[in-house]
Amino acid sequence: MKAVRIHQFGGPEVLTYEDVPDPKLRKDQVLIRVRACAMNHLDLWVRQGLPGVNLPHILGSDIAGEIVEAGEYITDLKRGQRVLIAPMHFCNRCAKCVAGLQNQCRQFTVLGNGVDGGNCELIAVPAVNVIPIPDALDFNEAASVPLVFVTAWHMLTGRAAIRPGQTVLVLGANSGVGTAAIQIAKLFHARVIATAGDERKIERARELGADFVINHYHQKISQEVRKITNFEGVDIVIEHVGPATWEDSVKSLKTGGTLVTCGATTGPKVELDLRFLFSRQLALLGSYMGTMSELHEVLGHVFAGRLKPVIDHIFPLSEVRAAHEYMEKSQMFGKIVLNP
């Protein structure tokens, strides 16, 4: 089969479109023909070099396709079914997994990070990861859903415990997590303040449901939040940017507010004034992907049309270098998808 692999870490030039052996199917696995694989910033970080990545390595976390073959132990999935793949790897037998907390499993990792991903024509995965999709959802849309929607759902419901009527600040409305978080917050009848970097992205954020949009390149986020909320602040901040926005994110919280973070796009190190943290009784929460039950829950809303994937651009898998260069420029609004 054809696949994109990295044999060393570096820029887009290390991505190699090449022939590799077809995967060997275990009795408890399902073989999927990949029709679409959506990109995430994780692809850039893995390509540049992350601990625990064994080379050569196949990137790609968000996969949709059709079943080619089901292993001997699999009876509920059939050849030709249209499916997406839960973008996570876990042991499925430890105390955390059997309690439904797969994202706390010691073996937990994201497809395309600790294990090979979907930048290829065929992939073999455990049956538990395989989720049938409705005919109304095409492969590109299906691939644009799993990672960002389960991440945003876990952040807002599993960690921040969003309630109707709250005010939510979503950093980076153009990102996959941003587009998902805006929609999920509106699903809970929250008021949403989003940030974006140009007029096109600002308008797209409004179309998704954002009540207010701040231009983070030309306006001070925390000052604008104070104006919008009559100096009260927001209940929840959805943070995944890191140092570039951290101070504004913390200052945007109301007393007793919650900041939940799932990433560090601009770096891992931030500063925090502990006096501000305890005197205003703030909550700072980490969030990593989500659980299988949360993925099924949010997919129910996607399949029903209440939440919608946002696609910016589709590239052939053979043009993966161009796709990485495009993502690095941060010009997209929504997902970038690769088609084998």
Q: Which two tokens stand for residue 166?
A: 């709250």
Mean pLDDT of 316-336: 96
Which amino acid does the sequence have at 86?
A
Name the nearest CA neighbour of 177 among 38, 293, 2, 329: 38
Residues 58 and 123 in one domain: yes
Residues 141 and 6 in one domain: yes
145-168 per-position pLDDT tens digit: 999 999 999 999 999 999 999 999
- Report how many domains make up the chain: 2
Which amino acid does the sequence have at 49?
G
Position 299 in a domain: no
Distances (CA, A) of 195 to 133, 140, 188, 253, 256: 32, 26, 19, 15, 22
CATH of the domain at 202: 3.90.180.10
DSSP-assigned letter for residue 23: P
Rounded Cα distance, 136 and 126, in Å: 25
Position 296 in a domain: no
pLDDT of residue 200: 94
91-103 per-position pLDDT tens digit: 999 999 999 999 9
Residues 275 and 195 in one domain: yes
212-223 per-position pLDDT tens digit: 999 999 999 999
Q: In percent, how much of the chain has pLDDT > 90? A: 99
182-203 per-position pLDDT tens digit: 999 999 999 999 999 999 999 9
Name the nearest CA neighbour of 179 among 308, 329, 87: 308
314: pLDDT strictly greater than 90? yes
Residues 39 and 115 in one domain: yes
Mean pLDDT of 66-84: 97
Residues 158 and 109 in one domain: no
Residues 169 and 274 in one domain: yes
Run of H or E including 132: strand 130-132
Distances (CA, A) of 245 to 259, 264, 325: 12, 10, 24
DSSP-assigned letter for residue 128: G
Position 84 in a domain: yes
Residues 264 and 232 in one domain: yes
Name the one residue in this structure whose structure tokens are 């088609």: 339
Position 96 in a domain: yes
ω into residue 164 within 30 of 0, thus cis? Answer: no
Rounded Cα distance, 221 and 217, in Å: 9
120 pLDDT band (50/70/90 cuts)?
very high
331: pLDDT strictly greater than 90? no
Position 295 in a domain: no
Residues 134 and 265 in one domain: no
Position 301 in a domain: no
- The structure's pTM equals 0.96
The number of CA neighbours under 13 Å toward the Cβ of 72 is 2
Confirm if 76 and 43 have CB atoms less than 8 A apart: no
Mean pLDDT of 243-261: 97
106 pLDDT band (50/70/90 cuts)?
very high
Name the nearest CA neighbour of 338 among 117, 104, 22: 117
How many Cβ atoms are within 10 Å of 274's Cβ, its own excluded?
Answer: 7
Residues 205 and 260 in one domain: yes
Run of H or E including 153: helix 146-153
Run of H or E including 84: strand 82-85
Residues 158 and 50 in one domain: no
Rounded Cα distance, 68 and 142, in Å: 18
Range of the domain at 226: 149-286
pLDDT of residue 64: 98
Mean pLDDT of 255-261: 98
